Amino acid sequence: MSNPIVEMKDVSYTYENKHALDHINFTIQKQAFIGLVGPNGGGKTTLIKLLLGINKLQSGSIHLFGEPIHKFKQWNKIGFVSQKANAFNRGFPATVQEVVSMGLTPKVGYLKFFTKAHKQKIEEAVEQVGMSEYLHENIGDLSGGQQQRVFIARALVSNPALLILDEPTVGVDAENVKKFYDLLHHLNEKQQITLLLVTHDIGTMTHHATDIVCLNKALHFHGNPTEFTRLSEHDLSHFYGHPLNVVTHNH
């Protein structure tokens, strides 16, 4: 396969006193659907923050869309829903439409205004996540799962080539989790969006992802779900540092 979308080489990262990532080598190919799993504190969020340039690279190299990260400028090619996305101020008076519009702000650029076409795009993104009837409601009045979908719409509205989601299904009920995976599936298959999804829901992941990546400080596994399910219990508990029961759902 040609030109990976993301290429990390020998990346290590240390917080003031905490070693979080250890010599990570990791690539994401175009149109992959990657499930990033690992125990709490395993460094998943840290890895994403490095990819997004929130945390500065300390050692190793990262290439995004073929460019070294310090030269990379096309951030609107990457959509991101953070683990803390719905930790915003609940009293903030912003409608769903206004929140989603933020996804276009950098693309529209300074000193320019939203046009009719932009508004159209915003409405489409909201529709895509099934939130059209709430377009003019305040985001703070929605449920946690609904808010999460609005944040996905915000990430989608700029037509990203890569969508990164950090534990987006926390606090979402089973039925909506299914809808959510259907949506991801659609984005991945029909719109050729590459996905990097952090989740603890390994069982569901094995049904949807093209790759599973297991991270606990070091990268312990990177392969397809079939290989992953073939791993012995012994290997898994080794990655996690404790025994693990993978529940495989039957869809």
Partner 1 sequence: MIADFFEYEFLQNTLYTGLLIGLIGPLLGTFIVVRRLSLIADALSHVTLAGIAFGLFLEKKYMVTFITPFYAGMGFSVIGSVFVERLRRVYKAYQELAIPIILSGGVGLSVVFISLADGFNTDLYSYLFGSVSAVSRNDFFSILVIAIIVITVLLLFYKELFMLSFDEEHAVVSGIHAKRIHFLFIVLTALVIAASIRIVGVLLVSALMTLPVAASIRIAKGFKQSILFSVIFGEISVIIGLVAGYYFEIPPGGTIVLTSVLILIITILYKRLKLTRLKRKAIA
Q: How far apart are the first and last CA of the chain?
A: 31
Question: Rounded distance, CA 70 to CA 82, Å?
Answer: 21
Question: Rounded distance, CA 131 to CA 152, Å?
Answer: 11
Task: Check binding of 133 to partner 1 (CB under 8 A).
Answer: no
Which residues on neighbouring strands pair with residue 7, listed in sequence order?
A: 27, 63
Per-residue interface string for the shown chain with ligand ATP, residues 42-81, x marking contact by CB under 6 A: xxxxx-----------------------------------
Q: Per CB under 8 A, which region of 51-59, 123-131, 198-206, 232-240 contacts partner 1?
A: 51-59
Which residue carries 């690539």 as its tokens?
27
- Contact partner at residue 63 from ligand ATP, Mg ion, partner 1, none, CB < 5 to 8 Å by partner kind: none
Task: Check binding of 94 to partner 1 (CB under 8 A).
Answer: yes
- Contact partner at residue 246 from ligand ATP, Mg ion, partner 1, none, CB < 5 to 8 Å by partner kind: none
**CB of residue 50 vs ligand ATP: minimum separation in angstroms?**
10
Q: How far is CA 88 from the centre of its chain?
A: 18
Q: Which of 3, 10, 41, 106 binds ligand ATP (CB under 6 A)?
A: 41
**CB of residue 83 vs Mg ion: minimum separation in angstroms?**
5
Task: Check binding of 144 to partner 1 (CB under 8 A).
Answer: no
Task: Check binding of 18 to ligand ATP (CB under 6 A).
Answer: yes
Q: Classify burial at 12, counting beta carbons within 10 Å of its beta carbon; exposed 0-12, middle 13-18, buried 19 or more.
A: middle
Task: Check binding of 15 to ligand ATP (CB under 6 A).
Answer: yes
Q: Per CB under 6 A, which region of 27-35, 39-47, 150-158, 225-233 contacts ligand ATP?
A: 39-47
Are 38 and 215 spatial neighbours (Cβ–Cβ below 8 Å)?
Answer: yes
Token digits of residue 201: 């829901």
| Beta strands at 67-68 and 59-64: parallel, antiparallel or unpaired | antiparallel
Are 148 and 94 spatial neighbours (Cβ–Cβ below 8 Å)?
Answer: no
**CB of residue 198 vs Mg ion: minimum separation in angstroms?**
6
DSSP single-letter state for residue 180: H
Task: Check binding of 35 to ligand ATP (CB under 6 A).
Answer: no
Which helix (H) or strand (E) is 127 found in, with range?
helix 116-128
Which helix (H) or strand (E) is 151 found in, with range?
helix 144-156
Question: Rounded distance, CA 111 to CA 60, Å?
Answer: 37
**CB of residue 81 vs Mg ion: minimum separation in angstroms?**
12
Q: Which of 22, 39, 53, 210 binds partner 1 (CB under 8 A)?
A: 53
Are 20 and 188 spatial neighbours (Cβ–Cβ below 8 Å)?
Answer: no
Chain residues in the site for ligand ATP (CB under 6 A): 15, 18, 20, 38, 40-46, 83
Chain residues in the site for partner 1 (CB under 8 A): 52-54, 73, 75-76, 80, 82, 84-85, 88-89, 91-95, 97-99, 101-102, 105-106, 108, 110-111, 113-114, 136-138
